[in-house]
Chains A and B, each alone.
Chain A
Amino acid sequence: MTQIDNAPQCGGFGDYGGRFVSELLMPALTELADAHREILFSEPFLAEFQAELAEWAGRPTPLTRVPHFSTEARLDVVLKREDLLHGGAHKTNNVVGQALLARRMGKTRLIAETGAGQHGVATAMAGARYGFETVIYMGARDAERQAVNVQRMELCGARVERVESGSATLKDAINEALRDWAESLGDTHYLLGTVCGPDPFPSLVRDLQAVIGCESRAQFAEMYGGRLPDAIAACVGGGSNAIGLFTGFLDQESVKIFGVEPAGGGTHTNRHGATLGKGTPGLLHGARTYVLQDDDGQIKHSHSVAAGLDYPGVGPQHASLRDSGRVQYVAVDDTASIEAFRSLSRTEGIVPAFETAHAIAFAAQAVERGWLPEGASLLINMSGRGDKDLDMYFRDHA
């Protein structure tokens, strides 16, 4: 069977993407794809979206040079500060956009999955601000390891449903959200938190996160006298903060692009989430993409110290960028990420989320592992802040 045989018909990225969902969900996806096409790029919508990003979410976020960390890494590292966005992570960009879209579509209820809880928090905040009933699905294991975020969601008025099935993590939360949506699609928008899932989510979420790359490129040019960075990097769970950054630079061939996956306990073990590094093409959550699976197609459990990266799938555009070679996907493990968490905090006074710490760990290892030459300029997406991880850090890793 050749790959061409598998090329999806709906919203594909080459051989990846598509709408591999039950017929019962097709009306919702058609409706959303229409809204994406007709509303998202219209003047009134864009004006409203941008105004909300500025007034409520705090855009634009700054670029920050990190000289002490840079010296240790033997690179010139600059951070795009999505950790300063309202809610504490890049997730708010996507949430504001989809919530405003859902409101125009006449929906009154939002559902979302969450891993690290950042997307759940952002959705709960938006639910409060824009007047939606909000339900968040979260793996029971994640709800435990990201307990502060559960409290934030509940404080903002969302109901948090703990999902016990499967691995009780992000994958299972998505399953449960899809089940809810099959029943509730009349009044409910499924506010998917990353560039995964069936078409149109991978392109919709990318379009809403593209602001990261767009701003960064202009800010970097301003800071560096019109230059582009030598390289850019972001951590990859589902891949939304990464695609958001990459979109601003994909057309610039001189810019090396790195996606950083979680190697967990090591990619030679069964305990990792390096889907692009170790997975194979399959169908998961509505898309054809790289998946961690056994030979029969049963989905494997992933592992990462970072709940937001602990997922056995990845956005289909990343699958395509991997195959084309435009983006190089590498993996760093739990230990290196915790070390990077500590190191950025000590050297710069910036506490990254465990997810983001993977991108920071990439920088720390880049020269040594031959990913980048000494002295290269590297723009990293600082996707979120680490407050949510303090309990776990001091309990298990300090």
Chain B
Amino acid sequence: MTLASLHSAFAARPHHFAAFLVLGDPTPDLSVELARAAVQNGATMLELGMPYSDPCADGPAIQAACDRSRAAGVSTPQAIDVLARISAALPDVPKNLLVYGNLVHAPGYRAFCERVVGAGASSLLVPDIPLEESGPLRAACRETGLGEVQLVGPGTDPERLREIDSAVDAFLYLAGLQGVTGAVQDDDAKFALLERVRDQVERPICLGFGLSTPEHVRRTFAAGGRIAVVGSQLARVIDAAWQGGAGDPAKIVDVFGEACRMLSAPAT
């Protein structure tokens, strides 16, 4: 699966609810089940994070998700294996990968892209490789057919926004707030920002950072977002279910599926 699948998903429906999961959280097997549950409950895209030792752009909930996955022994090759299993189970669902730069740099950009395309990724967001430094990674994405996603935020000025818009070929990931994932800030500002950015760019916009309720998802679409991604909130759901119901995977999957069902309602 590559960029093409993403384009057909955008053609097929205007609005996508994307569930974010750290690959291998809380265990490899459960991670595959959670992805399946997300899609059964209305997610039409998945955002999948590679567990990393130093997730600088993430708040506590996703840091904890990385820690759970790493505590379960999930290395990068194993995370890619989990991705492949999710892809086998859900071949038609676009999967945007969220990977910190050093994990992409370590094997070499090209080699990394080949591996994740082979495991079914459709696009890639590297949060700590911004426009200026993205040349070599972009080349690797293009050569391997992996879509490129870039982050933009409240402080990205209009000229830069246009540059980033024309550089990427998948979509723009708009951070609705200045901060790290999971922060809670003024809702209205988030959607006003989305409306403003929407009018300045060509690419579809995915809104993330700080979405946690069905109302947030609904307002994302109302403001012109094509993808609403919920991450920290779902990581908190997993955390609570994992801590509370340890040993009962079925229960964790149920609780998680139910959360996705509520969140995805505005997309259907």
Interface size class of chain A, counting residues whose CB lies under 8 Å from the partner chain: 35 or more
- Beyond A182-B180, A297-B76, is A24–B102 a contact (Cβ under 8 Å)? no
Expressed in whole angstroms, the Cα–Cα distance for A339 and B100 within the complex equals 41
Which residues of chain B are within 8 angstroms of A185 by Cβ–Cβ distance?
Answer: 155, 178
CB <8 Å contact, A22 and B57: yes
Interface residues of B in 79-133 (CB under 8 A from A): 100-111, 127-133
Expressed in whole angstroms, the Cα–Cα distance for A296 and B105 within the complex equals 9
B205 contacts A by Cβ under 8 Å: no
Expressed in whole angstroms, the Cα–Cα distance for A288 and B152 within the complex equals 22
- Beyond A19-B133, A183-B180, is A178–B56 a contact (Cβ under 8 Å)? yes
Interface residues of B in 35-63 (CB under 8 A from A): 52-54, 56-57, 59, 63
- Beyond A18-B133, A23-B153, is A299–B53 a contact (Cβ under 8 Å)? yes
Expressed in whole angstroms, the Cα–Cα distance for A127 and B100 within the complex equals 33
A291 contacts B by Cβ under 8 Å: yes
Closest to B57 in A: A22
Expressed in whole angstroms, the Cα–Cα distance for A172 and B183 within the complex equals 19
Which residues of chain A are within 8 angstroms of B128 by Cβ–Cβ distance?
Answer: 20-22, 283, 286
B75 contacts A by Cβ under 8 Å: yes
Which residues of chain A are within 8 angstroms of B164 by Cβ–Cβ distance?
Answer: 23
CB <8 Å contact, A23 and B130: yes
CB <8 Å contact, A175 and B110: no
Secondary structure type dominating chain A contacts: mixed
Which residues of chain A are within 8 angstroms of B106 by Cβ–Cβ distance?
Answer: 282, 293, 295-297
- Beyond A1-B109, A282-B106, A291-B102, is A26–B155 a contact (Cβ under 8 Å)? yes
Which residues of chain B are within 8 angstroms of A269 by Cβ–Cβ distance?
Answer: none
Expressed in whole angstroms, the Cα–Cα distance for A27 and B178 within the complex equals 11
Interface residues of A in 284-315 (CB under 8 A from B): 284-286, 288, 291, 293, 295-299
Expressed in whole angstroms, the Cα–Cα distance for A182 and B151 within the complex equals 13
Interface residues of A in 6-30 (CB under 8 A from B): 6, 8-10, 18-24, 26-28
Expressed in whole angstroms, the Cα–Cα distance for A174 and B160 within the complex equals 27
CB <8 Å contact, B105 and A6: yes
Closest to A183 in B: B179
Q: A103 → chain B, closest Cβ, in Å? A: 22
What string of 1s and 0s marks CB contacts (under 8 Å) between B202-215 and chain A?
00000000000000
Q: B149 → chain A, closest Cβ, in Å? A: 11
CB <8 Å contact, A8 and B133: yes
Closest to B177 in A: A183
Which residues of chain B are within 8 angstroms of A18 by Cβ–Cβ distance?
Answer: 132-133
Most buried by A among B53, B63, B110, B129: B53
B135 contacts A by Cβ under 8 Å: yes
Expressed in whole angstroms, the Cα–Cα distance for A367 and B160 within the complex equals 56
CB <8 Å contact, A296 and B76: yes
CB <8 Å contact, B57 and A182: yes
A37 contacts B by Cβ under 8 Å: no
Expressed in whole angstroms, the Cα–Cα distance for A182 and B100 within the complex equals 16
- Beyond A6-B136, A20-B129, A298-B53, is A183–B103 a contact (Cβ under 8 Å)? no
B77 contacts A by Cβ under 8 Å: yes
Interface residues on chain B, number (Cβ under 8 Å): 48
CB <8 Å contact, B133 and A20: yes
CB <8 Å contact, B105 and A179: no
B150 contacts A by Cβ under 8 Å: yes
Expressed in whole angstroms, the Cα–Cα distance for A360 and B7 within the complex equals 62
Q: B171 → chain A, closest Cβ, in Å? A: 14
Closest to A174 in B: B56
B263 contacts A by Cβ under 8 Å: no
A171 contacts B by Cβ under 8 Å: yes
A165 contacts B by Cβ under 8 Å: yes
What string of 1s and 0s marks CB contacts (under 8 Å) between A182-220 and chain B?
110110000000000000000000000000000000000
Expressed in whole angstroms, the Cα–Cα distance for A26 and B129 within the complex equals 11
A106 contacts B by Cβ under 8 Å: no
CB <8 Å contact, A9 and B132: yes
Q: A317 → chain B, closest Cβ, in Å? A: 18
B175 contacts A by Cβ under 8 Å: yes
Expressed in whole angstroms, the Cα–Cα distance for A284 and B106 within the complex equals 12
Q: B62 → chain A, closest Cβ, in Å? A: 11
CB <8 Å contact, B156 and A1: no
Closest to A285 in B: B56
Which residues of chain A are within 8 angstroms of B135 by Cβ–Cβ distance?
Answer: 9
CB <8 Å contact, B153 and A293: no
Expressed in whole angstroms, the Cα–Cα distance for A165 and B76 within the complex equals 20
Closest to A23 in B: B151
Expressed in whole angstroms, the Cα–Cα distance for A296 and B111 within the complex equals 12
- Beyond A179-B59, A296-B76, A297-B103, is A10–B150 a contact (Cβ under 8 Å)? no
Which residues of chain A are within 8 angstroms of B156 by Cβ–Cβ distance?
Answer: 23, 26-27
CB <8 Å contact, B53 and A9: no
A62 contacts B by Cβ under 8 Å: no
Which residues of chain B are within 8 angstroms of A27 by Cβ–Cβ distance?
Answer: 155-157
Which residues of chain B are within 8 angstroms of A396 by Cβ–Cβ distance?
Answer: none
A166 contacts B by Cβ under 8 Å: yes
CB <8 Å contact, A24 and B57: yes
Give 26 CB contacts A-B under 8 Å: A10-B133, A18-B132, A20-B129, A21-B130, A22-B56, A22-B57, A23-B131, A23-B150, A23-B156, A24-B57, A24-B179, A26-B130, A27-B156, A171-B54, A179-B56, A182-B178, A182-B180, A183-B178, A183-B180, A284-B54, A295-B106, A296-B77, A296-B107, A298-B52, A298-B53, A298-B76
Other CB < 8 Å A-B pairs besides A23-B131, A165-B63, 15 of them? A5-B136, A10-B132, A20-B101, A20-B128, A23-B150, A23-B151, A26-B156, A27-B156, A27-B157, A179-B179, A183-B178, A281-B105, A283-B129, A297-B105, A298-B70
Closest 8 CB pairs of A and B: A297-B106, A183-B179, A1-B108, A27-B155, A296-B76, A297-B102, A23-B151, A283-B101
Chain B: residues with CB nearer than 8 A to chain A? 52-54, 56-57, 59, 63, 70, 75-77, 100-111, 127-133, 135-136, 150-157, 160, 164, 175, 177-180, 183
